[in-house]
């Protein structure tokens, strides 16, 4: 079992090496007719069959490596699609054909190494299908998984329809691998490998002969069992026949022993193939170097894109400076408006002071006139009393009456003056109403100017916040972010990176699906969910 594992390991290394070399020459795209790919599947099938427990019956032995592969569906849910597709193929009738189809689909998905690693990590489940010393149960199984990782760079286009996977004969074609060995070791190595190939053909011929002999023996045993129940008298003849069969079986054992010795010699010859491993590693390294060169080109392209982004950032900085100039202009205009507001406040206070003085003067003059009128009424009443009481003294008092008439004329003139004062008072009241109207208009104008000033201050605060946001938030580079800023999920090919145009952090598509118009961007741009909520709240507070 140990020697068989070593031989299968050498064949797997050679098959992977030749497959990678041919794939690199063809552009990493392969189809089902590619000979190294077919041989790789044959070697892979032998590796999966090594140490496989068989179901023994009287007719023969039944080996199927599809049983362990079905465990992958339970251990790895991603492989359920492969298992379902294999079971739904109507042209597959045997477990061997289904196992080959499973290998084809796993290679096309570039998951063959991952699925086999899942199997090897659960060896307690594989013990049901493999012997303890089988290749899949030993360290060589993990080595094969490491070799299969290199096949993920290949693109296999395999069509399962029309392929007769049930009846294919899994024979390894050593001629594909002999060409490389001939180029390395020369004529002597070629002779030794030719001998090994002849021995291999001889062993295969013996195996076919033995399989035919075993088939004949099985048919004879079936005939003996049928005749034994019918003819008891022929028991002695059947016993002799069984003895002859035992002798033939002994001969077959001797032949098998001879074949084993020859296979041991062939194993010693194949051990020399380990020299080829170094060359395999070197060529694999060459393929990886080519891959590294491609990655380096992609890195240069990304650097060029980054330089373009830096130039665009410089243009944005220039736009910010222009915005700052405009901000200074707005500040100067606000200062002028404040000065005009102060002047209007001074004019309003002067008008109020003059109105107050006029009201005081009018109040004092009206009070004096009312006092004089009251005194005149009192004098008139006293005069009437005196006239009534002194009717008899009319003659004596005519001169006084004339004097009183003169006084009355004077009083009339004073009354006329009082009327003029009343008219002047009404004019002053009208002037006061006009001044009050002007004052009300000025107060309304001041309220409107205050409203405009508050709106200008809000706009200035928004511009200052935008400037702070533009100066405070840095544009995070793509290489610095491996997870989403909000949901902390790792970025991959399916989950791409997106910048928030407000805070500059990097989010996934789900956490940055909103778009808003920012002061630094005239059109709606992508923002994260947090910035979207914050900006909406700010807009609603500004509107209210």
* DSSP letter, residue 61: E
Stretch 359-385: mean pLDDT, rounded? Answer: 76
Q: Which residues pair with 526 in a beta bridge?
A: 515
Q: How far apart are CA 247 and CA 224, in angstroms?
A: 17
Structure tokens at 137: 């149960």
Structure tokens at 322: 């222009």
Domain ranges of the chain: 1-177, 205-341, 489-543
- pLDDT reported for residue 73: 82
Stretch 502-514: mean pLDDT, rounded? Answer: 86
Residue carrying structure tokens 């104008």: 445
Helices (H), 109-174: 112-121, 123-126, 139-149
pLDDT of 57 above 50: no
What's the distance, CA 294 to chain centroid? 24
Buried b (16+ CB within 10 A) or exposed e, 282-321: ebbeebeeeeeeeeeeeeeeeeeeeeeeeeeeeeeeeeee
Q: Which residue from 196, 172, 197 is spatially nearest to 44, judged by alpha carbons?
A: 172
Supply the Cα-derived Rg of the chain in whole angstroms.
56
Stretch 514-542: mean pLDDT, rounded? Answer: 81
Q: Which residues pair with 516 in a beta bridge?
A: 525
Q: How many CB atoms lie within 10 A of CB 255?
A: 14
Residue carrying structure tokens 């736009």: 319
Residue carrying structure tokens 């594992």: 5
What's the distance, CA 490 to chain centroid? 7
| Mean predicted lDDT score pLDDT of the chain | 76
Query: Superfamily for 489-543?
Result: Zinc/RING finger domain, C3HC4 (zinc finger) (3.30.40.10)
- pLDDT reported for residue 509: 86
Structure tokens at 409: 């004329």
Instruction: Give, in degrees to the nearest 5, the angle at Cα 169 between 51 and 217.
Output: 75
Stretch 83-102: mean pLDDT, rounded? Answer: 83
The pTM score is: 0.35
What separation in angstroms does the CA of 276 have from each of 16, 17, 51? 12, 10, 26
Q: Which residues pair with 22 in a beta bridge?
A: none
Chain length of the chain: 544
Q: How far apart are CA 351 and CA 344, in angstroms?
A: 11
Helix (H, G, I), strand (E, B) or coil at 268: helix
Tell which wins on pLDDT, 402 or 472: 402
CB 4 within 8 A of CB 50: yes
CB 506 within 8 A of CB 485: yes
Helix (H, G, I), strand (E, B) or coil at 109: coil
The pLDDT confidence band at residue 30, using thresholds 50, 70 and 90, is confident
CATH code of domain 1-177: 1.20.58.900
CB 313 within 8 A of CB 475: yes
- pLDDT reported for residue 395: 77
pLDDT of 275 above 50: yes
**Torsion-angle region of 168 (φ positive above 0: left; ψ -120 to 50: alpha; else: beta):** beta
């Amino acid at each position: 079992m140990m020697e068989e594992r070593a031989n299968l390991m050498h064949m797997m290394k050679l098959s992977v090496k030749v497959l990678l070399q041919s794939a690199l020459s063809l552009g990493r795209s392969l189809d089902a007719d590619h000979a190294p790919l077919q041989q790789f599947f044959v070697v892979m099938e032998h590796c999966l069959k090594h140490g496989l427990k068989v179901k023994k019956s009287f007719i023969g032995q039944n080996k199927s490596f599809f049983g362990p592969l079905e465990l992958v569906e339970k251990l790895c849910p991603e492989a359920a699609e492969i298992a379902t597709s294999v079971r739904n193929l109507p042209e597959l009738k045997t477990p061997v054909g289904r196992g080959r189809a499973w290998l084809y689909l796993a290679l096309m998905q570039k998951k063959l190494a991952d699925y086999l690693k899942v199997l090897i990590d659960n060896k307690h489940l594989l013990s049901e299908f493999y012997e303890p010393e089988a290749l899949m149960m030993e360290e060589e199984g993990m080595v094969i998984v490491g070799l299969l990782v290199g096949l993920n760079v290949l693109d296999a286009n395999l069509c399962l329809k029309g392929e007769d996977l049930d009846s294919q004969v899994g024979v390894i074609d050593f001629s594909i691998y002999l060409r490389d060995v001939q180029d390395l070791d020369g004529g002597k190595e070629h002779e030794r490998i030719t001998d090994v190939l002849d021995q291999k053909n001889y062993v295969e011929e013996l195996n076919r002969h033995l399989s035919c002999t075993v088939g004949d023996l099985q048919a004879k045993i079936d005939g003996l069992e049928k005749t034994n129940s019918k003819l008891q008298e022929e028991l002695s003849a059947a016993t002799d026949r069984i003895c002859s069969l035992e002798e033939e079986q002994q001969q077959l054992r001797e032949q098998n022993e001879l074949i084993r010795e020859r296979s041991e010699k062939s194993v010693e010859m194949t051990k020399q193939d380990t020299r080829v491993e170094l060359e395999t590693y070197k060529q694999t390294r060459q393929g990886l170097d080519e891959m590294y060169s491609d990655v380096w080109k992609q890195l240069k392209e990304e650097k060029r894109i980054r330089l373009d982004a830096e130039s665009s950032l410089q243009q944005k900085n220039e736009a910010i400076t222009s915005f700052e100039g405009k901000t200074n202009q707005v500040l100067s205009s606000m200062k002028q408006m404040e000065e005009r507001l102060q002047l209007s406040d001074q004019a309003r206070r002067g008008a109020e002071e003059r109105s107050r003085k006029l009201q005081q003067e009018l109040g004092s003059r009206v009070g004096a006139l009312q006092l004089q009128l009251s005194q005149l009424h009192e004098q008139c009443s006293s005069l009437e009393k005196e006239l009534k009481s002194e009717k008899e003294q009319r003659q004596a008092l005519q001169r006084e009456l004339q004097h009183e008439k003169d006084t009355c004329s004077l009083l009339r003139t004073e009354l006329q003056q009082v009327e003029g004062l009343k008219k002047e008072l009404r004019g002053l009241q009208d002037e006061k109403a006009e001044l009050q109207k002007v004052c009300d208009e000025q107060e309304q104008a001041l309220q409107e100017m205050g409203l405009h000033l508050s709106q200008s201050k809000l706009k200035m605060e928004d511009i200052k916040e935008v400037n702070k946001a533009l100066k405070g938030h840095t544009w995070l580079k793509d290489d610095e972010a491996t997870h989403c800023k909000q949901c902390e999920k790792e970025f991959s090919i399916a989950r791409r990176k997106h910048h928030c145009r407000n805070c500059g952090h990097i989010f996934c598509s789900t956490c940055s699906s909103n778009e808003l118009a920012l002061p630094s961007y005239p059109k709606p741009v992508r923002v994260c969910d947090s910035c979207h909520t914050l900006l909406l709240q700010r807009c609603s507070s500004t509107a209210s």
